[in-house]
Amino acid sequence: MTRSRVWHRAPKPEAPSQGLAARRAATILVDGVLRRKQPLDEQLEAEGGPLVALDARDRSLARAIAGISLRRIGSLRAILDQLLAKGLPGGGSGPLEAMLITGAAQILFLDVPDHAAVSLAVDQAQAHRATKPFAPLVNAMLRNVARQKDEFVPILSDPSRDVPRWLQTRRVKAYGADIAQAVAAAERSEAALDISVKGDPGHWAQVLGGIVMPTGTVRVADAGVVPELPGFAEGDWWVQDAAAALPAALFTDIAGKRIADLCAAPGGKTAQLAAHGASVTALDRSRRRLQRLEENMTRLGFSVEAVAADAGDWNGGQFEGVLLDAPCSATGTIRRHPDVALLKEEKDIAALAGHQARLLDAAADHVAPGGTLVYATCSLEREEGEDQIAAFLARDSRFARRPVTAQEVGAWAEIVTNEGDIRTLPSHFPHENPRLSGLDGFFASRLVRSS
């Protein structure tokens, strides 16, 4: 039987007695998302977080295990369900489910010997009071996963299994069944490192071993540790998904103009505006995130005005350009943040859309007559994109769309809608190397104020 498995690169495995710390950390991360509903990035950035005591190699292994476990959680749960006729004992006491999920993920998707994955999961179960009684079950289950790999091919080959049902249903409704399935398939691959560069993209593609995308983003597969790459410390480039680089690029001739970036941190789009010579006021409600923006601007050598304020009630006056990269469900970024699929709920969409509408109205008042307003979200939900702009244009007659043309985005017609907005999908930019494929799902619209 042909295997449909894709091996994800993990650091070379060690002897089974080693590597327990990395497995334990991965289990804590996955358990944090599943039971405590804590975002992965928040756990990774937290003081004293699970990776703190690990060396670089174990950190990278723990991240790889947690990442693939969350990315393929629907398939992994289906396989465990098939093996566990009566469900998880005790409804899954403590981190039992996370131990099984991370163990099975190593067996099915990572280049880790089966016996190491099984025995390290059993060691973890034995070391934890809540799971100790179930150590024999962990052993039996994971041995069965290893033994029956080929029987799971039908489960593993349906990408929609890894998308929560409510989200898949919405996608089918918004984009049709084929595109929804292509998006789910694209989300199975880990995203590449995308960077925006100050200088010549061709030069940096050569230095970093990457490719140049139609819009000038440099894309690198398997880049390694970002701060150690050439040009990072020197401030020659910054990390930014190719789709995330599109909204700020919709402002034209901004050298010397005043632009307000209203939801700015950590500053990817602020950096683009500054790189094009704009005088940028970067606003964010979160002081912690604004501090990161300031650190990023210092590294890049850009001088911007950073303001900690709520964009909904800020009295900052008028600008020639306003960018509103609004807080959103982030359902376009699941390739990069697989935990989003597990942490968001359908009811969040309407609440976020209401918040975005209020921010959009506030942003509109900061645009001087003749000025440009760019609205963007990294969501695939129409309520946060196309519908939001349709409703705004219907209620604010001062604004009209200035349609984006394919020429403005590297002749990439696929990402421009009939109305002249940008709509990218994770299934865009297919490449023979899956690690170089895909885009974050973004929406962006460019509006101009007449009076």
Ligand X SMILES: C[S@@+](CC[C@H](N)C(=O)[O-])C[C@H]1O[C@@H](n2cnc3c(N)ncnc32)[C@H](O)[C@@H]1O
Any known ligand binding at 214? no
Binding site for ligand X (CB under 6 A): 244, 263-269, 283-286, 289, 310-312, 325, 327, 359
19, 172 Cβ separation under 8 angstroms: no
Any known ligand binding at 266? yes
Q: How far is the CB of 362 from ligand X (least distance, A)?
A: 8
Q: Which is nearer to ligand X, 155 or 309 (CB)?
A: 309
The radius of gyration of the chain from alpha carbons, rounded to an integer in Å, stands at 23
Any known ligand binding at 284? yes
Report the C-alpha gap between 261 and 366 in whole angstroms.
11
Strands 218-220 and 211-212: antiparallel
Distance set, CA 298 to CA 235, 237, 260, 262, 392 (Å): 8, 12, 19, 19, 36
Query: Which residue has the CB atom at the shortest distance from ligand X?
Result: 263
Q: How far is the CB of 286 from ligand X (least distance, A)?
A: 4
Any known ligand binding at 87? no
Q: How far is the CB of 420 from ligand X (least distance, A)?
A: 22
Q: Which is nearer to ligand X, 65 or 311 (CB)?
A: 311
Any known ligand binding at 150? no
Strands 319-325 and 258-261: parallel
- Backbone dihedral region for residue 404 (phi beyond 0: left; psi -120 to 50: alpha; all else: beta): beta
Task: Name the catalytic one among 182, 205, 374, 378.
Answer: 378
Please state the φ and ψ torsions of residue 376, each to the nearest 5 degrees: -145, 150
**Known active-site residue 328:** no
Q: Which is nearer to ligand X, 80 or 306 (CB)?
A: 306
Strands (E), 179-278: 193-197, 211-212, 218-220, 237-239, 258-261
Q: How far is the CB of 341 from ligand X (least distance, A)?
A: 17
Strands (E), 104-192: none
Q: Which residues pair with 258 in a beta bridge?
A: 279
Q: Which is nearer to ligand X, 285 or 401 (CB)?
A: 285
Q: How far is the CB of 95 from ligand X (least distance, A)?
A: 30
Any known ligand binding at 81? no
Q: Which is nearer to ligand X, 97 or 440 (CB)?
A: 440
424, 440 Cβ separation under 8 angstroms: yes
Residues annotated in the binding site for S-adenosyl-L-methionine, as ranges?
263-269, 284, 325
Residues annotated in the binding site, as ranges?
263-269, 284, 325
**Catalytic site positions:** 378
